[in-house]
Amino acid sequence: MIIEQAKEVLIIEAESIMGLVERIGREFESAVDLILKAKGRVIVTGMGKSGLIGRKIVATLNSTGTPSIFLHPAEAIHGDLGMVTHDDIVLALSNSGRTSEINSILPILKEMGIKIISFTGRPDSQMAQLSDITIDVGVEREACPMGLAPTASTTAALAMGDALSVVLINRRSFDLEDFRRFHPGGSLGERLGKKVKEVMLAGDNIPEVQLGTMADEAVREIDSKGIGATFIVDAEKRLKGIITDGDLRRCLLTKKGMIHDLKVEEMMSPAPKTIGENQTTAEALGLMELYSITLLAIVDKQMKVRGVVHLHDVLGGEEFRLNGISKFT
Amino acid sequence: MTFWAERNSDSMEYQNSPRGLIVDLLTPLNSDGSIDGHGLGRLLDSIIPYVQGIFIASPQSGEGINLGTQQKVELFAKTLDVIREKVPVFFWVSGDSEKATRDNYSKLNGIVVKRKYRGKIFWVDTPLYYHSNRGLPVYYKEISSIAGRPIILHNNPEFVRGADRPLKRLNIRTSILKEISSIGEIAGMVYSGSLGRVHNYQKACRGRKNFRIYDENEGRFLNYPSMSGVVSLGANLFPGQWQKVTLSSLHISSEEKGYPNYIKQVWESGLFLRKVMEIYDVEPVSILKRILCDKGLIDFPYCTHPSGDIKEPLERLKSIIGH
């Protein structure tokens, strides 16, 4: 019974978000355009549970590059409206669209010439009528008896806030460097701010064999160093090429078992991608993403190998996908 | 102004059915089975201030299934006279065949025209009571052109099962509902059945703006309120409590009003309604009519169907409501 009830609640909440998928439309696009064109901040306001959701939307907008602050509607009436400038956009949240504190400040904001976006379950409400853009976040059913604690409706508003933030990320071309800048305290942000030399493998940890080495030896080097590749260097340790697990696979397929008789220069890919040791790990990650590779050689001006940096070293051993754009192999 | 002219002047608004509390009105009957007009007036007067709609002659609670055509016509006419356009009226229009249903539309529309009634009226129709799923969209396209008023579908598998007809399906098929809901004159549905099915119905109707799905199951609404509203039998006796709970559930009332005492009141009202519902649920029409009769709202507790022994639940209910 307990599990059944829990499942029912989760289904109702999931359905509330699915319901938004089919209703989202031009109003959402207009809201995104409005925020992108705004010179000021997004001022989010809401009472009660909607206020709590509003605060989360503020946090998400801020951490993804859209300056935002929360304005408590009751405090606004008592002076906090002064924090709103003509360049700002207001995002008002109220499921019923009848929250008196919000509806009393919106006319003042309108008079100031400030554009208002509203998230409401009642597109015909007073709040919606006072808004320039109304986004319908109505749900078909709440998961809590007697609406004492708004459940599905707050989930829907939260999800729509996330949708807005993520679309704004993409429209602003928010990149890894921006992520690092806005998340300096986070483990990933901290890591992406480091220099390559702080995370690279050096000395005996660098997988490398010299030109003229037989393929068997290269395979042993790849296996023992455990990063899926080995560099090929000349007698002066200058970088000449790379053999990766992928090169081995391709060689096995094309040479039909004759791999043992090959020398490394017959198998290697020339001109592997490199990076300087004083460049940042964010830049290293950017190069890996650009070329769909997982490691980079660190070389000095003479192209001598100083180290190697692997994707895992950049990300701290965890796979990370920002915005679903990772294409690492 | 005719219905069509009205509808053309304010099309969408006219067809939107209300959100909120729809009372499933008990039908006051005299001891000879005729409509108790005085009782009807008193009962409606006690309820109208609290509700967003009145469902008349519903097949089970309103005993519509046992009322003859003439009784239904009389009930409808008297109801319009009392309500006088103050709240929307929902009227169960289904007959036991397609022809009987068409006749009902015709007779009831005649009353609307004769009285020049301009209030909102919605015809509630249980299609599977007299028609199979096959061909329903075509049927509704045709019937909506003669119905004269918006139609609310009624889906109640238990009721259809009890109709004792050789029907293959007890519920409107979701794909059929999707087609029907695209017809502008179909304004919503009064729903009873599983939670899973109503989710599917909601998905099917998402393309249709303002399509209401009301909970006919009061208990379901108290647990997981539909945002359209509830068709409540208990509101005959406790309209104030039901109003409070419904408005709270639909977030129609201001959340902060009297906070936190307001929340406590709503919670207590909900617990009370759930408790009394569990008592009258064994014989709802007989028990509630008896209480309404004792309160002097209706003159007779007469029902069209025989009831079992209701002495024990009746006494329990009376003790709870301090009667």
> pLDDT-derived band of residue B61, with 50, 70 and 90 as boundaries?
very high
Q: Six-digit token pair at B147?
A: 């119905």
Q: What is the DSSP letter of A204?
A: G
Q: What is the pLDDT of residues A148-172, one digit of tens each?
A: 788 999 999 999 999 999 898 877 7
* CATH numbers and ranges of domains, chain B: 3-253 (3.20.20.70)
| Percent over 90 (pLDDT), chain A | 39
- Best of A49, A120, A146 to mutate (most B CBs within 10 Å, chain B): A146
Instruction: Tell me what the mean pLDDT of segment B124-134 comes to.
Output: 94
Is the Cβ pair A145, B226 closer than 8 Å?
no
pLDDT band at B265 (very low <50, low <70, confident <90, very high): confident
Tokens of A214: 């037989």
Average pLDDT for residues B185-189, to the nearest whole number? 95
Please tell me the predicted confidence (pLDDT) of residue A320: 40
**Residues on chain A touching B224 (C-beta within 8 angstroms):** 8, 12, 141-143, 145
d(C-alpha A87, C-alpha A76), whole Å:
17
Is A275 within 8 Å of A209 (Cβ atoms)? no
Widest Cα–Cα separation across chain B: 55
More confident call, B125 vs A312: B125
Task: Report how far apart the first and last C-alpha atoms of chain A are (Å, whole number).
Answer: 46
pLDDT at A196: 85
Residue of B nearest to A20 (CA): B206
pLDDT(B79) > 90: yes
Q: pLDDT band for position B59 (50/70/90)?
A: very high
- What DSSP line would sit under B7-56, residue for residue? HHHSHHHHHPPPPEEEEE----B-TTSSB-HHHHHHHHHHHGGG-SEEEE
Tell me the pLDDT tens digit for each residue of B85-96.
Answer: 999 999 999 998
- Number of neighbours of residue A228 by Cβ within 10 angstroms: 16
Mean pLDDT of A21-28: 90
Q: What percent of chain A has pLDDT over 70?
A: 89
pLDDT exceeds 80 at position A323: no
Residue range A281-290, pLDDT digits in tens: 888 888 887 7
pLDDT band at B6 (very low <50, low <70, confident <90, very high): very low
> Measured in whole angstroms, how far is the alpha carbon of residue A7 from the centre of its chain?
30
Task: Determine the Cα–Cα distance for residues B280 and B313; give it in Å rounded to an integer.
Answer: 7
Kindly tell me the sign of the dihedral angle through the C-alpha atoms of A256, A259, A261, A266. positive
What secondary structure does DSSP assign to A237-253, as a single string? -BEEEEEEHHHHHHHHH
Confidence of residue A186 (pLDDT cuts 50, 70, 90): low
What does each C-alpha distance from A82 to A71, A75, A78 come to in angstroms? 10, 10, 10
Of A166-170, A291-295, B57-61, B245-249, give the range with the top mean pLDDT: B57-61
Residue type, position B46, single letter: S
The pLDDT assigned to A183 comes to 64
Residue pair B150/B186 in contact (Cβ under 8 Å)? The answer is: yes
Instruction: Confirm or reject contact between B271 and chain A (CB < 8 A).
Output: no
* Yes or no, beta carbons of A99 and B255 under 8 Å apart: yes
Contact A158, A57 (CB under 8 A): yes
Percent of chain B exceeding pLDDT 70 equals 92
- AA identity, residue B230: V
- Structure pTM? 0.71
Indicate the residue type of B90.
F
User: What pLDDT digit, counting tens, does each position of A117-136 carry?
Assistant: 999 998 989 999 999 999 99
Residue with tokens 């005996």: A204
Residue B232 parent element (H or E): strand B229-232
Determine the residue among A11, A102, A141 to mutate to test chain B binding: the one whose Cβ has the most chain B Cβ atoms within 10 Å: A141
Q: Is the pLDDT of residue B83 over 60?
A: yes
Closest-approach residue (CA) in chain A for B212: A140
**Distance (Å) from the C-alpha of residue B123 to the closest C-alpha of chain A?**
23
Does A98 touch chain B if contact means CB atoms closer than 8 Å? yes
Shortest CA distance to A192 belongs to which of A316, A56, A69? A316
Give the pLDDT confidence score for residue B167 in this predicted structure: 67
Please state, rounded to an integer, the average pLDDT across all residues of chain A. Answer: 85
Structural contact between residues A86 and A59, judged by C-beta atoms closer than 8 angstroms:
no
Rounded Cα distance between B313 and B319, Å, is 10
